[in-house]
Amino acid sequence: MVISIFELLAQFDFLPFQSIHNFTKPVLMPALALYFYSSTEFVNSNRLRYLVLIALFYALLGDVFLMLVDKNPIYFLVGLGSFLVMQLLYIYIFKFLKISDLVNKWPYAGLVIIVAFILIQFLFPNLGDLKIPVFIYFSAILTMVLSALCFWKRQPNSGIVFLGALFFMVSDGLIAINKFKFDLPFSGFLIMVTYILAQWFIIEGLKNFINKNSP
């Protein structure tokens, strides 16, 4: 929590916080992983637990590579690839997507699909050579969010996981708009606060699920 606060303050370039971004951002995911690991320490060899930790490792790689974009634009694609692996791991953790589950949650599913379609249509003319990578990535985000919705359907007390997935979609949407369309006011803060909330809600929900269902 303290690290998250310092990272958000760093986004406003407030002294003395403006110089700590290079430390606080790479520490966010390891701190969250440590919290998750310690909160599920009494679980007996649960494979799901280790998959979550691997997903957070790829999130860390994505965070670090996106911090290096100013040095070399290729790091944007590498960071995108790291987050793509994380998204695919979350999809697997949520037990994939089931149409029957979406039918039961159709108002949420319909709204998510419509928003995703509008966003990609809005961005597509400005993507240039990145049209295919960005489209693949946004398809993965959409699948991840819908998979989280299916997870919520199967686990009624796991709505917080779906909420986290929604925040992920918002955060990545803000990144894309800020990079490809126009500069957003307070973009750094908005992107990071939605990203932090996304990861926190997903991990908190999975932690509760694992602890409740472990032998």
- pLDDT per residue as tens digits for the range 16-60: 655 676 777 888 899 999 999 888 877 665 788 889 999 999 999
List helix spans (H) across the chain. 2-10, 21-39, 47-67, 74-93, 99-104, 106-123, 131-154, 159-180, 187-213
Q: What is the pLDDT of residue 61?
A: 95
> In terms of Cα–Cα distance, which of 2, 51, 54 is closest to 27?
2
CA gap 166, 147 in Å, rounded? 11
Banded model confidence at residue 202, pLDDT cuts 50, 70, 90: very high
Whether 6 has a pLDDT exceeding 70, the answer reads no
Residue 73, pLDDT score:
84
Separation CA 161–CA 105 (nearest Å): 15
pLDDT tens digits, 133-152: 888 999 999 999 999 998 88
Provide mean pLDDT across the span 82-111. Answer: 83
The Cα–Cα gap between 200 and 197 comes to 5
Range 54-83 average pLDDT: 91
Q: Residue 71: pLDDT band by 50, 70, 90 thresholds?
A: confident
